[in-house]
Amino acid sequence: MKRSHRPRGENAPVRRALIGLLLGSCILAVGEFACRSFNKTWDQLSPNDPYWVTFLGERRVFPRLLNPPNGPSRRIFCIGGSVTAGFPYPFAGYPEWMSKELENCGSPDRFQVLNRGMGSWGSRREESLVRQVLDESPWAVVLYMGHNEVGEEMLYRSVPAWARSPIARWAWRSAGLTTLARVVIREKERLSGAKEPQGAWGWPKFLIPLAPQEVESDFEARLRRIVKTIARSGAIPIICVSPSNLLLPPIRSNDADMSSAVSVRGASAEWIRTYASALDLWRRRRPESALAQLRTLPEAARTDSVHWLMGMSLLELKQFERARTELRLSASKSWIASDRLREIQRRVAREEGAVLVDLEKLWSNRSPAKLPEAKYFSDSHHLSLLGYRSAARAILQALRESKRLPAQCPKPERGERADIADLGLPKKHEAAAWGLMANEYSFYGDQTGYADFHRQAVEWMARGLRLDPPGCLSRLRLDHPAIMLDLALAYTRLGDSASSRMWIDRVRASPKGTWVGIRKSDQSSWAQEARTALGIRNFVE
């Protein structure tokens, strides 16, 4: 039989497709090789990565250290969210205070304390971070968790299903595809006019609501796995029970001035009138009358804000037990660390043999009301300078009591104090800390409970500007007249009338309608001092 021969032209498309596929694969392979050769940080997390990449666990969050350690014989890694990162004090969180305390106590061992805090991260993402630090010969690992669990889970459930697929995970293991995606995201943000990268650190527009109770079982399971993994590696697991500042309004409502916050919730006019009246009575030091007003509200209408104000009124009446009940009811409806999550941390530490540092109980026992005092916080859960130093000393004391540190660590001292100058930071870092602290204050304004924070913040701004004006100014929203007023007050306190007048002139030159000035009805300490010290009678909104 004769063989039938196809015309040569019929195989040409197939050959061209195969050649194209081969050439494309070669180009991709060369590109992949080039990206891996010349971009040594491609596998590290970048601000230009999409936010959901942080959940894949495929990225190194921090650069790899020498292994085994070259120099210090003992490494202490501190893992957690924004509290561990030191917010709102760059370079002055509890890891930095631990390092300073260990340096001062004269221990024969040499220590290196490494900050591995990532803002908004909870145990879901911190579990992959623990696996990374265990490759770097840790002596101990501090776990400051619990206050981001609900927020992180809401973020995780908002990740699109395709982004969690094996294909997405495989794509982000490629240096070439990673580099290409980052270039596209960076250009997109440049064209949209974004001032800062919104990739890995950004949040989606919509989050799926979640009750705090929904994360408890997953949190306990992950925490147990993390502690067991650390213990198997030979390192010391340390669990810090994260405290909350119950003396401030609930975080969701930003409720020092409740009238706008409650109306957004769709509350009835009757509810708003009752609450506003009770708030006014409490501010005028009439807690009994405020409680009487709030008790007229039915149980179903007692929101987190209502429980908070009832608790604050009871505190003034010295009814501490009832006050604690109301304040904890208020906090239980928030997404910040709850009492039940703290109890999980205590139980896991007890059952798994971890070192427990119970900051919640430690600070509560120092107060007659058996609640953590506001002086340890800069807001609802981030710590103040004093709080960060106190937390560092508590961790070292727990290690000493468990016979892991010598008796002289930490060095004993009388009273509680914390000055950022004690850390011996470079001037530009100290100025950056003052600037960011002051900027954090501008977010909260003169809310109830922030009087001490305000007095410190305005002085910090002035100190930062004197140390490093460009570095501090770059971190302040100085187009906001409230910040300018703060600076005017700060320089007035420091006796620098010329600088004070300069900032007042800038306030007067600000466009009307862009800020909220001092209302005639505002009788807060901040407003009274501004009127007296600066000669201001009133600014129109």
Quick one: pLDDT at residue 257?
Answer: 38
- Quick check: 298 pLDDT over 90? no
Q: What is the pLDDT of residue 8?
A: 55
In order of 34, 41, 173, 260, the CA distances from 30 in angstroms are 6, 18, 16, 58
Residues 447-492 pLDDT 10s: 434 444 445 555 555 655 555 555 455 445 455 566 666 667 667 7
Q: Does pLDDT of 498 surpass 50? A: yes
Identity of residue 129: L
Beta strands in 422-538 (DSSP E): none
Of 527, 534, 459, the residue nearest 497 (C-alpha): 534
**Which residues on neighbouring strands pair with residue 144, listed in sequence order?**
80, 240
Cα dihedral 488, 491, 497, 502 sign:
negative
Sequence ranges of the domains in the chain: 72-159+210-244+336-412, 258-332, 425-541
pLDDT digits (tens, 9 = 90+) for 189-248: 666 665 555 554 455 655 666 767 788 889 999 999 999 999 999 999 999 999 988 887
Q: Is 453 left (phi over 0), alpha (psi -120 to 50) or beta?
A: alpha
Asked which of 95-109, 128-142, 305-319, 414-428 is least confident by mean pLDDT, the reply is: 414-428
* pTM, 2 dp: 0.77
Please choose, from the candidates 501, 498, 511, 496, the residue with its C-alpha nearest in 3D space to the C-alpha of residue 534: 501
Cα separation, 272 vs 122, whole angstroms:
35
Predicted confidence band at 299 (pLDDT cuts at 50, 70, 90)? confident
Share of the chain above pLDDT 70, in %: 65
The token duo for 531 is: 């009127």
| pLDDT tens readout for residues 42-90 | 677 776 677 778 888 767 888 878 766 666 678 999 999 989 998 877 7
Q: Which of 8-17, 123-132, 194-203 has the lowest mean pLDDT?
A: 194-203
* Distance (Å, whole) CA 3 – CA 5: 6
Average pLDDT value for the chain:
75
- Reported as a single tens digit per residue, the pLDDT across 258-277 is 433 343 344 567 777 888 88
Q: Which CATH class is domain 258-332?
A: mainly alpha
Query: What pLDDT digit, counting tens, does each position of 369-381 carry?
Result: 999 988 888 777 8
pLDDT at 133: 93
Contact between 76 and 112 under an 8 Å Cβ cutoff? The reply is yes
Burial class (CB in 10 A: 0-12, 13-18, 19+), 26: exposed
Res 251 pLDDT > 90: no
pLDDT of residue 130: 95
The amino acid that residue 440 corresponds to is: E
Question: 72-159+210-244+336-412 — its CATH code?
Answer: 3.40.50.1110
Q: Quick one: pLDDT at residue 260?
A: 35
With the CA atoms of 398, 402, 405 and 407 taken in that order, what torsion angle do they form, in degrees rounded to the nearest 10?
Answer: 90
pLDDT at 282: 87
Q: Report how far residue 432's alpha carbon sits from residue 514's, in angstroms, rounded to the nearest whole number.
A: 26
- Distance (Å, whole) CA 326 – CA 58: 43
- Helix (H), strand (E), coil (C) string for 216-245: HHHHHHHHHHHHHHHHHCCCEEEEEECCCC
Distance CA 326, CA 303 (A): 11
CA distance 505 to 498: 11
More confident residue, 477 or 25: 25
Cis? peptide before 88, omega within 30° of 0: yes
**How is residue 367 annotated by DSSP?**
S
Strand order in the sheet with 140-145: 111-117, 74-80, 140-145, 236-241, 355-358
State residue 225's pLDDT score.
Answer: 96
Three-state SS across 132-154?
Answer: HHHHHCCCEEEEEECCCHHHHHH
Amino acid letter for position 111: F
Question: For residue 160, is the peptide bond before it cis, meaning its omega torsion is within 30 degrees of 0?
Answer: no
For helices 385-401 and 94-104, give the axis angle rounded to 10 degrees.
Answer: 60
